[in-house]
Structure 1
Amino acid sequence: MAFENLSPVSDSVIAQIDLLNEQCLGHAINVHSRENGMPELKGVNIAILGVRESRGSVNHIENSIDFSAIRRAFYSLYPGNWHTVISDLGDLQPGESSSDTYYALKEIVTELVKKNVVPVILGGSQDLTYAIYRAYDGLDQMVNLVNIDGHFDLGNSSLPITNKSFVGKIIVDQPYNLFNYSNIGYQTYYNSQEEIDLMEKLYFDSFRLGSLTSELTAVEPVMRDADVVSLDLTALQSETLGFMHPAHVNGFNGREICAIARYAGLSDRVSVFGIFEYILQAKNETGAALIAQLIWYFIEGVNYRMNERLENRETDFLHYSVPVDDELLSFYKSTFSERWWIEIPFIKGVNNKLKRNTLLPCTEEDYINACNQEIPERWYKAKRKNEI
């Protein structure tokens, strides 16, 4: 049973729920407790899961990871006008080795995704994203991974996996399920020129921190195309988290990262959302409060998903054909949400990587630029990845 290794939420956190207002989230969530056991997953939309594993961190310190402060802060929040059903499954304890933890996490995520339950995972070191990615091995689909991080995390894939090399492992390890990797918020001085060149060579997407803070809406189409979203807390300004990561002086602020989390939730496609690099501190109320609000905004987004059926493009979408050089670009605009997509063409005689959903999310600006004879960069990269 995939969930047999999960430990319940601590009694002290459970006891605090009784002190909360009846309208708070703590009274609305099905919680894995020692007294009541594991909650049923039937009808559940979102499952919160802690993973107490950090041995993959290059700065690993032997200390216990405890998500109680995050849970206290989250339970005390009030829900929006939501219809989502939320469960807290408790914590996955570290196995004898990191590989054991990876295996257990992979099995849990696979089971949840099959049940159409979106797991919100609290970590631990970000190399846990590798285990989440491997959960899709048996789901017969290509995976789009979005990493909100100042680092690309490509690392040296020939060495044992760490929180700074897990993306490199994802790229080189079989089976090859990765279609696209997008980095949101990278900071140039944290990444070698070799890594920057490799991102370009593989036609991956990357968005600098400075460009996004002036135009945060650029995140939306990237999230709309993501299956897994992994957030490294070092991508935030250190003061935003109460100096949990004091060396990271630049990054997203609280409002920006909450908006990004909401974009991730709004995506009809995102099936896993992970928050990693949580470090237990003596005084961690600030960091715990912000992470609780990140979870809240993600769930808010999930609640307002539009569930647009792209296969109905002939009836529910407006179609625009734009000739650019030797290409004929096909744009689709939803008559419901007014969001835009551009078609990635299949090429005869080529072993296309994509087996489903050939529409790439884009913006109205991409359409306007195409009308001005500018090919959208993300479309070009997606087309090249589909050909090689």
Structure 2
Amino acid sequence: MNFNFLSPVSDSVLAHIQLQAKQALGRKLKIHSLQNGIPDLDDVQIAIIGVLENRNDINYLGEDFSLDEIRKTFYSLFPGSWRTEIADLGDINKGDSTEDTFFALKTILSILLTKNIIPIILGGSQDITYANYRAYDSVMPMVNIVNVDSKFDLGDSSKPIKNNSFIGKIILDQPYNLFNYSIIGYQTYFNPQEEIDLIEKLYFESYRLGEISKDITLVEPVMRDANIVSIDLNSVKASEVSQNQKHSPNGFDGKEICAIARYAGISNKVSSFGIYEYKPSKKDDNTSMLVAQIIWYFIEGVNFRVKDDDFNNENHYQKFITLVDSQELIFYKSVKTGRWWIEIPFLSKVNNKLKKHTLLPCMHQDYVNACNNTIPERWYKAFQKNSV
């Protein structure tokens, strides 16, 4: 397997493990070290990969960074009652160009995805998400991306890719594999009105910071439909992080961002998870601990995954039918978990990307609203997108 692009976890981090309790995570992970090489991945379900690339950051000034503090902090935490085997594959260093780094990451991710191993990517600039997306080209035909961010990152896609324009590249670059894009926690004053309008026009989903802070459970059905989750640490408010990481007085608090990570983990569809825009400083305790806890909660979520979307067996679900403006809406509720889905009808006359009835994750409240003659917004957007 082509893992030549990976450099091992540093000796100082490995030495730090020896100071930890026997039950700590650092003692339980399979770790890529200089001495032992790449660990055996046969039983591994989750693999951590660092990507030391930040040259596409619009504020890049030539600085390098390390993920050692995050690793030391994460290794010192205790696992939950987990059954997953976790590996730390080390870092991808900067290539001669950002394209080289992207190629290395895409190659490694394609291997991991084919082996059904979930990569957790720790990165510099968030445009690395583009390489993550491209790794799916040979794996699956259509991809859903959820971006936890204060900004849309659509940017000017006619210019070279940057960390504020990578979503524009994902939407417009061939092959067109993006089916749905959702943003969680955007802050209106950071986004041009034209971009907000474009997201609406494309029937993508956008959730303002206030909406999510008011009801964090809105995140769950969005994550249940995601393949790629990308978290921008700038979506976290300044009071929660260290000096270099501070971005805005408004944003998610530590509890909210960890809850979002757990929802991503619980989703049966999420097959890659990235945390980006990490900017270490001398006193980095807050940020490294927050990132370590985000990783912890994602893994915790993966351990609580339940296969509840088998709709071939009538004993596994309840079916509800309601009429809204003469439109028949069909809902399904899992007997096992109580989670809800709504059916998106197949339009036979349209050459769309979905060739069968598709079930869209939703909430119980969507069913209640439908009973009160209100079409769920997620259903409307998915229906319109399928009609294009």
TM-score by length of 2: 0.98
In structure 1, what is the equivalent of residue 255 of structure 2?
Answer: 255
Deviates more, 1:58-67 or 1:166-175: 58-67
2:218 counterpart SS class: helix
Matched AA of 2:74: F
Verify the 8 A CA contact 1:142 1:354 in the aligned structure 2.
no
Q: Is 2:268 the partner of 1:268? A: yes
Written as runs of structure 1 = structure 2, the 5 A alignment for 1:1-388 is: 1-312=1-312, 314-354=314-354, 358-388=358-388
Deviation at 1:312? 2.8
Deviates more, 1:371-380 or 1:345-354: 345-354
Deviation at 1:283? 1.4
CA RMSD in angstroms, aligned pairs only: 1.1
Q: Deviations over 1:118-153 (max 9, x none)?
A: 000000100000010011111132111000000000
Deviation at 1:2? 3.0
Verify the 8 A CA contact 2:309 2:334 in the aligned structure 1.
no
Deviates more, 1:349-358 or 1:222-231: 349-358
How many residue pairs were aligned? 388
**In 1, Cα distance between equivalents of 2:303 and 2:97:** 37
Tell me: CA distance 1:206–1:68, structure 2 relative to 1, closer, same or farther (3 Å): same
**In 1, Cα distance between equivalents of 2:168 and 2:348:** 30
**In 1, Cα distance between equivalents of 2:17 and 2:312:** 45
Deviation at 1:244? 2.9
Deviates more, 1:346-355 or 1:113-122: 346-355
Q: After TM superposition, where is structure 1 displaced by more than 6 Å over at least 4 residues in a row?
A: none
Q: Deviations over 1:298-334 (max 9, x none)?
A: 0000000002243436341111111111311110000
Deviation at 1:285? 1.2
**In 1, Cα distance between equivalents of 2:57 and 2:339:** 39
Matched AA of 2:344: I
Gaps of 5+ in 1: none
Deviation at 1:246? 2.7
**In 2, Cα distance between equivalents of 1:151 and 1:356:** 34
**In 2, Cα distance between equivalents of 1:313 and 1:246:** 50
Gaps of 5+ in 2: none
Deviation at 1:357? 7.5
**In 1, Cα distance between equivalents of 2:362 and 2:160:** 37
Task: State, as a whole percentage, how many aligned pairs show the same letter.
Answer: 56
**In 2, Cα distance between equivalents of 1:316 and 1:357:** 18
Deviation at 1:355? 5.1
1:144 counterpart SS class: strand
**In 1, Cα distance between equivalents of 2:121 and 2:133:** 13
